[in-house]
Chains A and B, each alone.
Chain A
């Protein structure tokens, strides 16, 4: 029975003549479908002879052809060497000791090569000094395979042969010899005895050579202060292991302060031994890695830090020093003085303030304390930059006094605050040669661009610290037509020596003494004879002569520090752990490396305190698509404006201060994906890391790629267990490291005693465990990059990171406390009562989400926990993930069908899904998309395809290799062999991560898992992980 009812769709239908109604009747779609967009314009469509049936035929045929073709295996070629090098066995890795000395990072390292390709950097444990690689050094192997590298020398943008370049340069240099104009060498810090000798010889040969050392991020103040006091342009060395009390005024010594490399010594002092650990007080403006690790952190703007430092000096000397600090700071200073007094020579004070007076005062304090951690007899040579000389050179260039400018390892057009002056100056220079591995801002303005070799392709040497020498050797032949600066200098001097011979000559003459060259080259490091006693007394005599003037200069330094005035906002410029001075900005591993503090990757940003953000209207918000957005700011320093700087609200940032990191905002010669952030060097006026700045809001919101949106621990004290040294020393571990309780038959029982599953007997064979000491972990992130390199972890790019699709197998979670300490968070949560009200959990939890003004910070590296009762294994429908007897949770990629059940069932959220094919895919134009970048791939680990799950494997390829080697040699596995094979534990120079076999008698790990501090993450879940954490102990003892 049909209905005659008519349903009106709109009022317009009442009018029968309405044209719209008529059209709608004929057309299903209101809007025209944009067929043309994907089919092309009508004409081409009409002219095409393919009709629908033909199309279907094509589809059918090509599908059939493709599937048939897929059945046939491809022909794979295998090409042996014609003459196989004696030391290369295909499939067996070779290790070479070398040294990175790129002007910013200095370290003695081991390079793992496979079939002649360097594929990984490892720590050189033989090195007594700077033998550990940080995140950037670990990533430097990828910079070798950077597809944007310069492949040969150029002049005015066109390729040129080295021969022509040599002829031209030589001709110009000899012409300049008599012109009276100077030949300027503007270089990085080399700390190289051979290069020093070479430059001296070059000067002699060419006359009027002016060698200017330029550090992009200057340590000029510290160098000047040290030079004034000790007569040598160097940096004092510190051994934080020997300090019981560490007081730092804005020194981020766990990352790049004065060249870095202090974290392993620091970490050793932080592990409670016999009831003792060091106490670390950090006074700083930005929340730095060092501040995050401190026992007590006092946020203070830089000008106040200076006054506080002056006051500390005064208090230590019982003299009155002017200047005003707040009462609380004054009190804190009193406490610090007490603690220092108690520790005596076991105390050390450091500062990162770019102020000669501050540096001088610190040196004076350490000298006064006779600090054991303070070493001036063998200072460090890894920073030599001279601001005065750089400025003088630019002035000379502008005045036309410079005939030739040769630069190496520096990018002044990018990193100079007054780059415009440099650009103007270089126009007046008759010959400019720029050595650079990549096209950059400076190569753009140079006449000749000399393609420089990577350090893994070069010979070199370094004296990192007085008496501590290192050698650099090539681990691969130059990939391109490149040359290192030193070889070029030799060539231009008319010498036919190779730089290798030159180094050998220098070493056998001045350094080696009786020692053998080959052995030294093998070891990579050499400890020379320490300066003779004569030389020492000489300097002492010198000191006595200047003592009086030193005292007066110190008192004037203190008073000028005390008189520091401040106006408006104060900006502290810093270098990020992942980017440093920006030399490796085109390195995708480093771009994707999340900053340990903000957990933001692919960006730099200005950090601001919450109070200031509120006052100025800056916001950070998590938006619907799961990303973090932040306001833009306009920053002005002394008339220099930086537009569109993204803002991050940083807990712990001192009120009235801002922070901005160097290294970003590079554009020239970079792939589009790599051009991120703003160039902070523009604000680096007068090479001072503190600047008076004005900041205002600009329109728009910035999209961050932040991997951790949740900032606080929400009072979940069982995730990061913490205690104080006092409790740790006095109470039983069941109090500060309690086993979680669960209810069984209405009785509270320890969670470890309840088990849904039958346990396997794991006492036979190897059983791997990883211990992570939260006390020793500084959050430096070296393990993250080492893991990337070892396991072929893909780079996914900013967009994907923003969607939380990061692929890091190992992440370092960073948590802030919501109250002043984590303990107070726990108490607050435990005291929740009801849903609403003062103690209501609804509002209470909301409050707990907010980090405190000056929070406690904790780092926790999390990777697959390799649970013995793994929740992921039980839900996999295809048994792609399964458990091995050795304790490893296996992942058979080719079995995985990508249901992602495992990731959803993992309580630790450590499984990573390949949403896309990240190799050979133009959408992800990073290292795995070009042949060069693929050379870094570890051949022992599969490159995963799209649609499969992956995760930390406990480096099973490495543990298996160790076992196999032992089998081949017919011996048991030696102590520590596993630890040194696994990427993260081998990279961890602080000793926070220890890997090994718990069934091996007397192994470090078997002790660690039984330690009183040991606990498992989310123990109450009953997953029985094979990763153990060690309770974090804070030294809150105030003197």
Chain B
């Protein structure tokens, strides 16, 4: 089943590559029309590194729209590529020099001066312009999920077939048994032997009579039920796997997984504070000022995503929710000041009587977030990965060695304690990490 699917994937990838190849081919063909010989691929790279924070190809942001900027400038303002070279390399200078269009654009964008890029070579700028001139690649959306290969029926059938065959075999065996029994019985009766049925106590009565058996069974029953009752009761208040629906569908998979954003970029207070901190919305806006829509992975949403309804449009709508909460006016690219707090549902809830400090674990001990929070970078909806029970805390404290290297604080106590316990490495527990008052006050 798996293999077949993979083959299917290969086909699909091949198809996509073909389309992309064709697209590039056509783009380069098109590129020959304009006086440009830049490399749009390198241009894209440069654009994303240097320009994307303020510019978009098809959308007004901090700076103007850049798609076909060169041709538009040429048509509307009669400005050539030379003008663009100077502008990009030294825009403030140009404004100062009193260039009419430079000043016009400066005023239009509320006097937000463009960062000069004196390090760009003309070739770099050519590349970027080539990229802006190329029609933005239409994302290859393969809506409808499965590729041309169609449904993967056969594999399902084969499984059922085996199962069916097995059932058939068993059925045959049962029938055979019956037949054999019948034959034997008929042989016996044919021989004149009368099968005398012994009169026996019904089994439950016999059982009830045997006091020992009753005792043993009831003890067993009690023990089993106690075992299950205990197990059930120990689950009270343990919310492992708790994955509540959040007001904004924030996907850690997209952020930490696909885009590889470091956890502590957003949860910065985990370094210094007791709490890891849900990032405030202004932190989101650091990126989402320019990332206003979700473009997903180039291959389009996976089947899994589609099954959940996580289309690109869906994610883009979630970004709009953020804009609404933070009061960001997309049209005019400014804050309205009308904010609305986002009421996230807390996933990891430690009871008040347990004191946990993130900075102790993150900064001092250097533990990965994933150790306790699980593969968050794979979670679309965050769930509680660890049980967060005291036993779980303690077993880690018992097993984990304290990270003492390069920390002046531990120098003395580590030397003395390791001598006392006769060990090389001290666990958190040996360090006193299992004392009640270390977490309960």
Q: Mark A877-894, 1 if CB is under 8 A from B, else 0.
A: 000101011101011111
Which residue from chain A places its CB closest to the CB of B335 in the assembled complex? A83
Give the CA-CA distance A963 to B417 in the complex, in Å: 17
Q: Mark A768-807, 1 if CB is under 8 A from B, else 0.
A: 0000000000000000000000000000000000000000
9 nearest A-B pairs in the assembled complex, by CB-CB distance = A890-B437, A91-B273, A84-B280, A91-B274, A81-B280, A80-B278, A82-B339, A91-B275, A78-B346
Give the CA-CA distance A82 to B342 in the complex, in Å: 8
Q: Are A971 and B409 in contact (CB under 8 A)?
A: yes
Which residue from chain A places its CB closest to the CB of B403 in the assembled complex? A967
Q: Are B360 and A964 in contact (CB under 8 A)?
A: yes
Set A89, A763, A764: member contacting B273, Cβ < 8 A: A89
Interface: A77 (CB within 8 A): yes
Q: Are A893 and B353 in contact (CB under 8 A)?
A: yes
Give the CA-CA distance A90 to B272 in the complex, in Å: 10
Judged by DSSP, the binding face of B is loop
Which one of B87-95, B236-244, B255-263 is at the interface?
A: B236-244
Interface: A479 (CB within 8 A): no
Interface: B279 (CB within 8 A): yes
CB distance from B58 to the nearest CB of A (A): 29
CB distance from A23 to the nearest CB of B (A): 54
CB distance from A972 to the nearest CB of B (A): 6
Which residue from chain A places its CB closest to the CB of B274 in the assembled complex? A91
CB distance from A77 to the nearest CB of B (A): 5
Interface: B269 (CB within 8 A): yes
Cβ–Cβ < 8 Å partners of B417 in chain A:
764-765
Which residue from chain B places its CB closest to the CB of A960 in the assembled complex? B438
Q: What are 14 contact pairs spanning A and B, CB under 8 A?
A: A73-B349, A75-B244, A80-B341, A82-B339, A89-B269, A92-B272, A92-B274, A761-B420, A882-B436, A890-B436, A890-B441, A940-B441, A960-B441, A966-B409
Interface: A956 (CB within 8 A): yes
Give the CA-CA distance A904 to B213 in the complex, in Å: 50
Contacts A964-B360, A972-B408 known; 14 new A-B pairs at CB < 8 A:
A71-B237, A73-B239, A77-B344, A79-B343, A79-B344, A80-B281, A81-B280, A82-B340, A763-B416, A892-B440, A967-B360, A967-B410, A970-B409, A972-B412
Set B282, B325, B349, B441: member contacting A956, Cβ < 8 A: B441
Q: Are B237 and A90 in contact (CB under 8 A)?
A: no
CB distance from B408 to the nearest CB of A (A): 5
Q: Are A82 and B281 in contact (CB under 8 A)?
A: yes
Q: Are A890 and B440 in contact (CB under 8 A)?
A: yes
CB distance from B64 to the nearest CB of A (A): 27
CB distance from A969 to the nearest CB of B (A): 8
Give the CA-CA distance A80 to B340 in the complex, in Å: 11
Cβ–Cβ < 8 Å partners of A890 in chain B:
435-437, 440-441
Interface: A174 (CB within 8 A): no
Cβ–Cβ < 8 Å partners of B326 in chain A:
82-83
Q: What is the total number of residues of chain B having a CB less than 8 Å from a CB of chain A? A: 56
CB distance from A864 to the nearest CB of B (A): 12
Cβ–Cβ < 8 Å partners of B281 in chain A:
80-83
CB distance from A866 to the nearest CB of B (A): 11
CB distance from B274 to the nearest CB of A (A): 4
Known contacts A91-B274, A764-B416; decide if A941 and B441 are in contact (CB<8 Å).
yes
Give the CA-CA distance A320 to B217 in the complex, in Å: 108
CB neighbors of B among A40-71 (8 A): 71
Give the CA-CA distance A92 to B273 in the complex, in Å: 6
CB distance from A891 to the nearest CB of B (A): 7
Known contacts A79-B341, A82-B326; decide if A953 and B353 are in contact (CB<8 Å).
no
Which residue from chain B places its CB closest to the CB of A957 in the assembled complex? B441
Q: Are A894 and B275 in contact (CB under 8 A)?
A: no
Interface: B8 (CB within 8 A): no
Give the CA-CA distance A764 to B411 in the complex, in Å: 12
Interface: A942 (CB within 8 A): yes
Interface: A33 (CB within 8 A): no
Cβ–Cβ < 8 Å partners of B280 in chain A:
80-84
Interface: A909 (CB within 8 A): no
Which residue from chain A places its CB closest to the CB of B242 in the assembled complex? A73
Q: Are B275 and A968 in contact (CB under 8 A)?
A: no
Set A75, A84, A89, A91: member contacting B283, Cβ < 8 A: A84
Q: Mark B270-293, 1 if CB is under 8 A from A, else 0.
A: 001111011111110000000000
Known contacts A89-B273, A91-B269, A91-B274; decide if A885 and B341 are in contact (CB<8 Å).
no
Give the CA-CA distance A84 to B340 in the complex, in Å: 13
Set A92, A940, A956, A968: member contacting B363, Cβ < 8 A: A968
Set B273, B344, B359, B364: member contacting A78, Cβ < 8 A: B344
Q: Are B341 and A970 in contact (CB under 8 A)?
A: no
Interface: B251 (CB within 8 A): no
CB distance from B341 to the nearest CB of A (A): 5
Set A91, A884, A966: member contacting B438, Cβ < 8 A: A884
Cβ–Cβ < 8 Å partners of B355 in chain A:
940, 957, 960
CB distance from B366 to the nearest CB of A (A): 11
Q: Are B412 and A80 in contact (CB under 8 A)?
A: no
CB neighbors of A among B337-379 (8 A): 339-346, 349, 351-353, 355, 357, 359-360, 363-364
Interface residues on A, range: 35 or more
Q: Are A894 and B273 in contact (CB under 8 A)?
A: no
Which residue from chain A places its CB closest to the CB of B357 in the assembled complex? A964
Q: Are B273 and A888 in contact (CB under 8 A)?
A: no
Interface: A76 (CB within 8 A): yes
Q: Are B353 and A942 in contact (CB under 8 A)?
A: yes
CB distance from B147 to the nearest CB of A (A): 42
Q: Are A967 and B364 in contact (CB under 8 A)?
A: yes
Cβ–Cβ < 8 Å partners of A942 in chain B:
352-353, 440-441
Q: Mark A952-979, 1 if CB is under 8 A from B, else 0.
A: 0100110010011011101111000000
Q: Are B359 and A968 in contact (CB under 8 A)?
A: yes
CB distance from A666 to the nearest CB of B (A): 36
Known contacts A890-B435, A970-B408; decide if A90 and B441 are in contact (CB<8 Å).
no
CB distance from A112 to the nearest CB of B (A): 15
Interface: B78 (CB within 8 A): no
Which residue from chain A places its CB closest to the CB of B341 in the assembled complex? A79
Q: Are B360 and A71 in contact (CB under 8 A)?
A: no
Q: Mark B35-76, 1 if CB is under 8 A from A, else 0.
A: 000000000000000000000000000000000000000000
Give the CA-CA distance A890 to B272 in the complex, in Å: 26
Q: Are B364 and A893 in contact (CB under 8 A)?
A: no
Q: Are A971 and B432 in contact (CB under 8 A)?
A: no
Give the CA-CA distance A80 to B279 in the complex, in Å: 6
CB distance from A303 to the nearest CB of B (A): 55
Interface: B153 (CB within 8 A): no
Q: Are B344 and A80 in contact (CB under 8 A)?
A: yes
Q: Are A967 and B409 in contact (CB under 8 A)?
A: yes
Cβ–Cβ < 8 Å partners of B150 in chain A:
none
Cβ–Cβ < 8 Å partners of A78 in chain B:
278, 343-346
Q: Mark A267-282, 1 if CB is under 8 A from B, else 0.
A: 0000000000000000
Set A73, A880, A940, A963: member contacting B237, Cβ < 8 A: A73
Q: Mark A729-773, 1 if CB is under 8 A from B, else 0.
A: 000000000000000000000000000000001011100000000
Cβ–Cβ < 8 Å partners of B341 in chain A:
79-80, 82
Which residue from chain B places its CB closest to the CB of A941 in the assembled complex? B441
Give the CA-CA distance A953 to B412 in the complex, in Å: 26
Cβ–Cβ < 8 Å partners of A882 in chain B:
435-437
CB distance from A87 to the nearest CB of B (A): 13
Cβ–Cβ < 8 Å partners of B342 in chain A:
79-80
Q: Are A972 and B437 in contact (CB under 8 A)?
A: no
Interface: A895 (CB within 8 A): yes
Known contacts A765-B417, A953-B437, A964-B357; decide if A970 and B406 are in contact (CB<8 Å).
yes
Interface: B407 (CB within 8 A): yes
Interface: B413 (CB within 8 A): yes
CB neighbors of B among A859-904 (8 A): 880, 882, 884-886, 888, 890-895
CB distance from B59 to the nearest CB of A (A): 24
Cβ–Cβ < 8 Å partners of B325 in chain A:
82
Cβ–Cβ < 8 Å partners of A972 in chain B:
408-409, 411-412
Which residue from chain A places its CB closest to the CB of B268 in the assembled complex? A89
Which residue from chain B places its CB closest to the CB of A944 in the assembled complex? B353
